[in-house]
Amino acid sequence: MKKHLVVALAYDRLCTFEFGCVTEVFALERPELDVEWYRFDVCAVEPGPLRAAGGIGIAAPYALGLLDHASTIIVPGWRDANEVPPEALLKKLRDAAARGARLCSICSGVFVLAAAGLLDGKAVTTHWRYAADLQRRYPSVKVQPDSLYVDEGNIITAAGSAAGLDMLLHLVRLDYGGAVANRVAQRLVISPHREGGQAQFIPRPMLTAESDRLSTLMTWMREHPALPHTLRSLAERAAMSPRTLQRQFLSATGFGPYEWLVRERVAIARELLETQAALPVDQIVDLVGFGSVESMRRHFRRVTFTSPAAYRKKFGNGQKAPVVTHK
């Protein structure tokens, strides 16, 4: 079988950070993973010389014809959300989508996919600064401004800059499973899963004593997911009123305390499903504090759009689970 070919677009005034994220994930040799890693190449959107942010010169080795052979195409940002991309590029993207290639964008790169007419009726995301403009200009697109990335099958879009890494790890997870994606994340020194959305990154007032208490509380909740938390018990632990705690959670994360806790429990469940194949689901329920298998299934599907069983089948590493205990 031919290697899975990942192609990143290069263009004049290239978004250096987004492009760097793509090359970091896909271009490096990874012999320690013992898998047939991707083939990675770069194609130029237009004739050179090309410049990148920071004054770097770019010499892309291929022209747009390479896109005809790509399994995955990544648009690492776009130089101006208001500039219509070249028609030759848009046609290549439409042709790639028609033959089933996977098309991905980071940050403002979503405007390239939108200009190609590939996002009509689909859920997408972009940097929170661009979300309203994207929705206004492309009303048939379902913009999800709080998401870090949105997977619509062969169209996957990521929010601003570093959220591209979340999406890129998701691609690795889809192609090679959770265990491999986790090892790539370890090498990158980042979390394999980030919960929550962009709301937590929108500029907010300076930290206060209340926010320090909230941070301490959130750390404690992550360490004790199985406890029967209530708004009142959490407020007492944080030395806040329930109303203040609710307000602080919404301001910091975009979620109320209960919804934030549900998503943390789902994140822990995902990790257990990926890494501990022999651990029964009912034990995972106890470890993460969902109370019942049905409750876990309901919340898991709502957050991840799949069932625990399907997630384990797709991302589990198939290894026997060690004994797990919790307090």
- Per-domain residue ranges of the chain: 5-188, 204-327
Say whether pLDDT at 146 is over 90.
no
Per-residue model confidence as pLDDT tens digits over 265-319: 998 998 899 888 889 999 999 999 999 999 999 999 888 878 898 888 877 764 4
107 part of the active site: yes
Bond from prior residue into 49 cis (ω within 30 degrees of 0): yes
pLDDT confidence of residue 148: 87
Output the average pLDDT for the chain: 87
* CA distances in angstroms from 10 to 51, 102, 272, 290, listed in the order given: 9, 17, 38, 46
Share of the chain above pLDDT 70, in %: 90
| Residue 226 confidence class, pLDDT cut points 50, 70, 90 | very high
Say whether pLDDT at 10 is over 90.
yes
Determine which of 137-141, 154-158, 316-320 has the lowest per-residue pLDDT on average: 316-320
Taking residues 35-61, report their average pLDDT: 92
Architecture of domain 204-327: Orthogonal Bundle (1.10)
Q: Are 87 and 21 in contact (CB under 8 A)?
A: no
5-188 and 204-327 in the same fold: no
pLDDT confidence of residue 211: 62
Count of CB atoms within 10 A of residue 232's CB?
Answer: 11
Running DSSP on this structure, what letter comes out for residue 85?
A: P
Q: Which option is the CATH number for 5-188: 3.40.50.880, 3.40.190.10, 3.30.365.10, 1.20.58.110?
A: 3.40.50.880
Say whether pLDDT at 193 is over 80.
no
Residue with token string 């806040």: 240
Select the highest-mean-pLDDT range: 42-56, 107-121, 182-196, 231-245. 107-121
